[in-house]
Amino acid sequence: MKVILEIRDDKAAFFMELLKNFSFVKAKPLTPYKAEVLEGLKDAVDQVNLAKQGKVKLKSARELLDEI
């Protein structure tokens, strides 16, 4: 299982050291860029799920192209 945690910067070193003590846990920090990309993907999936539920209307490809 993979889990993403958000940890305050001042506690990150302690938490990473704690995780290293568990042989069954592999932990590596995300780069700021990867964290941003992952957050963007999460937001996109959330929007698609809301659209499938009919709670939000997404723009068509034509509307997106017209904005350019």
Q: For the chain, what are the domain ranges? A: 9-67
SS (H, E, C) the chain: CCCCCCCCHHHHHHHHHHHHCCCCCCCCCCCHHHHHHHHHHHHHHHHHHHHHCCCCCCCCHHHHHHHC
Mean pLDDT, contiguous 10-residue spans, the chain (68 residues): 92 95 94 94 94 90 89
Instruction: Enter the pTM of the model.
Output: 0.62
C-beta of residue 25 within 8 angstroms of C-beta of residue 19: yes
Task: Report residue 4 as tokens.
Answer: 């993403």
